[in-house]
A and B are shown apart, each in its own frame.
Chain A
């Protein structure tokens, strides 16, 4: 299996622009998670899905952030409009179940908002 795939790996954009991050989970995994990692705040869970349905989005920082999972093999995290404080590494992870399986992380997208 190719593992969790994320694109792009690096994104540099200007403040106010829309940014879309993409994730393909491991086939057969029912749970998909979006995390953000910064030096100041560490790793934070933003949102997670179960069978394509958003379960908990309480970690989404504000309305500028939105996430979708239109099918079992694809998810997006969108920031509109982007701000410099959104600069971070965004990870997508997937797992087979919530309670006993480990979460497998993708390579991450390093976002820089100028």
Chain B
């Protein structure tokens, strides 16, 4: 059974700073997803990582995947307030997605 752990679960940071969210998973995963959820809203897809060494970037967010270490990271560069949200990683196995508990990110002006 795939288990996905994120850390940290809560993160408060200032605008302009850099930080990384970590996502570890327990067994082989076909793929790794990152989602964003704003309060009271649905989940928005950010990245899909399909192979070892995959790196994807969108604006101030960059995601990477190391399948040997069973680790994905979501790096935030020069954070801005609009990036405040909860970020989920999810691993894909044979049967659907297993989500981490989410990282609640607050970026203060």
Contacts and interface: CB of A to CB of B under 8 A. Distances in A.
Interface in B87-107: 88, 90, 92, 95-102
B43 A56 contact: no
Contacts of B30: 99
Given A91-B43, A93-B43, A102-B45, 4 more contacts: A33-B96, A42-B102, A102-B33, A103-B33
A58 interface: yes
Contacts of A106: 42
A43 interface: yes
A104 interface: yes
Contacts, number: 48
Interface of B: 30-31, 33, 35, 41-45, 48, 50, 88, 90, 92, 95-102
The majority secondary structure among interface residues of chain B is strand
B65 to A, nearest CB: 14
A45 B96 contact: yes
Interface string A75-113: 000000000000000010100001111111111100000
A42 B101 contact: yes
Nearest to B96: A45
How big is chain A's contact interface, by range? 20 to 34
A114 interface: no
Interface in A52-67: 55-56, 58-59
Nearest to B93: A98
24 contacts: A33-B97, A42-B99, A42-B101, A42-B102, A43-B88, A43-B90, A43-B99, A43-B102, A44-B99, A45-B95, A45-B97, A56-B95, A56-B96, A59-B96, A91-B42, A100-B31, A100-B50, A101-B48, A102-B45, A103-B45, A103-B97, A105-B42, A105-B44, A107-B41
Contacts of A108: 42
The 10 closest A-B pairs by CB, nearest first: A43-B99, A102-B45, A105-B43, A45-B96, A56-B95, A105-B42, A42-B101, A107-B42, A102-B48, A48-B96
A81 B95 CA distance: 27
